[in-house]
Structure 1
Amino acid sequence: MMLNLKIKNTLLSASAALLFFVTGCSKVEYKKIDDPAYLRVFNNLNYKIGTDNKDEMLPFLTMLIDPEMGQDGIPLNASVKGDFLDQREPYAPPYPSHVGSGTTKNNPEYPGRENVLVGPVLNGYDLSSWAQIPSGKHRIVFMFRPKNQVPFFDLETKLKKNVLIDTTIVLDSKEVYTLHVLQKDYRTKKNGIYLRKENFQKLPLSDSLVYVNFYNMSSKGYWQADNDAKGASAFGMGALGGGLRDEMNIFLSLYKNASPLPSGRIPGYGGKYLTTLKRNSEVLEVSPYFSFPLFADGSSNGIRTEMWQRFDFFAPGMDLTNNPYGMNSPNTDNNWASLNCFMAGKTPQPGMENTVNLPNMVVNIHSGIYNPRSFATVNTIEIVNGRAYLTTIQRKYAPPVY
């Protein structure tokens, strides 16, 4: 895994520095922000255009903060632009993995590929995946745009008229925010934003524990809709594709080897109840974090662990002991879904085909004299309309010794 980029707020992002030194192009000018907030943006409009929704706009966006509008309502400029904002990817790793990568301008998050000032290491946490934004009140507009490689302000006028969201946000100084573009109502197709002020950087979290919290930000009415209409099977998300009920209980299991069988579970972590998850795309409170030991597997050497995590989502009244559905049940009536955070580079074993598989919450990386060494992280799992997304945040760690 790539090392964290410890980008201070007076330095260029990695891609900007590479552009300047390798190509010799003119230097990108960055204006110092005296009183910043830190903002990260995801496009959660994860629908696909088909015959049933051919009249919907393609979920490919441009974000404009404090735009200058012409008399005809067409944006002319903006203080901050996040262009080519594509549908988010299932995993947002603890480093800015998209900077300077790929041949396309499509951006799975903001800042992502954008050459902007980013956050510092704050209270030990790497904020280089968050952009600096002047604190205060801002107008923020999300525009639909065609899926091509033409910058937004270079598009034809007729292609710069499709407003998705036009609203205001308030960002407090030195605070960390995650902003989501969401479909709020599945039937009416109403869209909106969800701005969350994070608190992980303020909590007294232990280096020896892995933390995770959960959100179900699905549209109202999504899980009740017909599965064929919402294309659940096309998502390839197992039982989760049909959506979670508005209230589900979450259970954690930890495994010490690649087998998903009960014999591989770590004692004390075989279907441990964590919390009740309620659908919410409006209230902006941070969900509580739950934790488990980095070295819960007593057979590990205290330096490296291959432990992986499984989360089961059950309707109230159900758990691992009375689950009537098999691992490969094609339909669980929205009563059960599961998610594995599996071992990096390993293939899920038979019996795990009907689950969602995401990267492990334990980061293994070369640090000091150990290659690899295991580190605990802070994680967020977000469920949006049949999709599961994992965001991982990591503390700074000692560089490798060669």
Structure 2
Amino acid sequence: MKKQILSIYLSLLAMVIATGCRKVDYTKIDQPAYLRVFNNLNYVQTLGTKDDKVPFFCMLINPTTDANGNLTGAEIVGDFLDKRDAYAPPYPSHIGNSTSVNNPEYPGKENVLVGPILNGFDLSSWAQVPSGKLRVVFAYRPKNTIPFFQLETHLKKDILVDTTINLTSKEVYTLHLLQKDFEKKTSGVLLRHENFYKLPLSDSLVYVNFYNMSAKGFWQADDQFKDDDFALKSFKGGIKDDMNVYVSLYESQSNLNHRGLTVPGYKGKYLTNVKRNNTEATVSPYVSFPLWSSSKANGVVTDIWQRFEFLLPGMDISNNPIHDSQINTGSNWAVVNCVLNGKVSLQSNENGTVLPNLLVNVHSGKDNPRTFATVNTLEVVNGRIYLTTIQRKYAPPIY
């Protein structure tokens, strides 16, 4: 018996050592606000931008300095802040990812206290931070794996943004680091006070709102200064400052052709207007479509996918003169297809970029899978489009 206990103990000890388990001491925050941070600055490898600094940062909230003004610490540190991912899922997917220290958002990989379930919405992708007036600094850092405060002093002096924000206790905020003016190369932040958790939203509707937070002058700039990533498709040149958004819903993800069968009433349906704005943090109104809109839906699972088209006012789906395969659309038309997990390739002549489906399918209760409606945000920033998805808490699986 003693040998069996000893064997179990040694096995458990080996597991702890193998997984690198360590205790994390969390600092309790009495009156927290909930904050999520995205770095919307991208690396653009062109002849015109080869001398630009790599936008890789350490974010410091309420930093401390020594007598010489050198940074020595901070109340909150978000180190290795890299450019954001195209998709921010409704759960903290980056925790436990040890392949790189680079963090595509804050809190992301950071082991910090996170938000609760608030009015049914899962805020585990938002960090708890002190409420009140906060000083926020984004400092350039080398693209290596050395923690910021272990760097040599001269490497901690290059500051991109030093500003203050004001957060209210128990409220939810998203902070964006943005390029404000493309020609002048000025940058700053935009703090959005979210409201999705305060709205009377239906479980049977999928919600989405839209932003164009591109820099002033981006779409007018010469293509040699823009990212030539083919995957950006019709977005890579940017969109104009005033665009209308249309949606088409498709019956099945087994057919990813945009000429396929659409849900009745949802072929090129007008949704909303979006204007370029990277200075005012007003929350855009949410628009919606029915979760169970497909004739094939059974109240448990649905297989629809979504196509959003941004068109210059005066154009619409029926009179669009731009060809489907045309990538350079003069910034008058851009398309995003939201299908599967976003890791798919559409037809090579398709001008739409690809992001994950707005619907979430998970094992819940006795259903595997079950389709859930979500609350989503689509943000256009300098030739890229990003999707953030938020989900209500759902019933755990029954095995």
TM-score, structure 1 as length reference:
0.92
Q: Look up the equivalent residue of 2:145 and give its one-letter code.
A: Q
The aligned counterpart of 1:311 is 308
Question: Which secondary structure state, in structure 1, belongs to the residue aligned with residue 189 of structure 2?
Answer: strand
The residue that corresponds to 1:103 in the other structure is 99
Q: Does 1:128 align with 2:124?
A: yes
Q: Which secondary structure state, in structure 2, belongs to the residue aligned with residue 265 of structure 1?
A: coil
- Identify the residue that residue 237 of structure 1 maps to in structure 2: 232
Q: Shift of residue 102 of structure 1?
A: 2.9
Distance 2:258 2:213 in 1: 31
The residue aligned with 2:244 is: 249
Q: What is the DSSP-based 3-state SS (H/G/I as helix, E as strand, rest coil) of the residue aligned with 1:53? A: coil
Distance of aligned partners of 1:346 and 1:370 in 2 relative to their CA distance in 1, 3 Å threshold: farther
Is residue 2:180 matched to residue 1:180?
A: no
Query: Matched residues in 2 for 1:19 and 1:293: separation?
Result: 47
**Residue from 190, 196, 201 that aligns with 1:205:** 201
Paired AA for residue 326 in structure 1:
H
Give unpaired runs (5+ residues) of structure 2.
1-14
CA distance in 2, matches of 1:396, 1:272: 30
The question of whether the paired residues in 2 share the 8 Å contact of 1:135 and 1:171 is answered with yes
Cα pair 1:66 1:139 within 8 Å, conserved = yes
Say yes or no: does 1:154 pair with 2:150. yes
Which is greater in Rg? Answer: 2
Show the counterpart of 2:357: 360
**Structure 1, unaligned stretches of length 5 or more?**
1-17
1:163-178 matches, cutoff 5 A: 163-178=159-174
The one-letter code sitting in structure 1 at the alignment partner of 2:385 is A
Residue number among 217, 220, 233 corresponding to 1:221 in the alignment: 217
Distance 1:119 1:103, change over 3 A: same
Residue of structure 2 in register with 1:144 after alignment: 140
1:288-318 deviations in Å (ceiling 9; x for gaps): 0000000110222121011000000001100
Q: Deviations over 1:79-121 (max 9, x none)?
A: 0000000000000000000001132110000000011100010
Q: CA deviation at 1:211?
A: 0.2
In structure 1, the partner of 2:377 is 380
Partner of 1:274: 271
Aligned length: 383
Deviation, 1:39, is 0.2
Offset, 1:230: 1.4
Identity of aligned residues (%): 59
**2:71 alignment partner in structure 1:** 75
Counterpart of 1:395 in structure 2 is: 392
- SS of the residue corresponding to residue 266 of structure 1 reads coil
Partner of 1:12: none
Is contact 2:49–2:225 with CA below 8 Å preserved after alignment?
no
Q: Distance in 1 between matches of 2:339 and 2:316?
A: 21
Letter in structure 2 aligned against 1:193: V
Pair 1:92-2:88 in alignment: yes
Is residue 118 of structure 1 aligned with residue 130 of structure 2? no
What's 1:326 paired with?
A: 323
Amino acid at match of 1:270: K
RMSD: 1.7
Give me the whole-angstrom Cα distance separating, in 1, the residues matched to 2:343 and 2:154: 48
Aligned equivalents of 2:136 and 2:355: distance in 1? 32
Cα-to-partner distance string for 1:108-146 (whole Å, 9 max, x where unaligned): 000000111000100000000000001000111000100
Q: Tell me by how many angstroms 1:373 deviates.
A: 0.6
What corresponds to 1:4 in structure 2? none
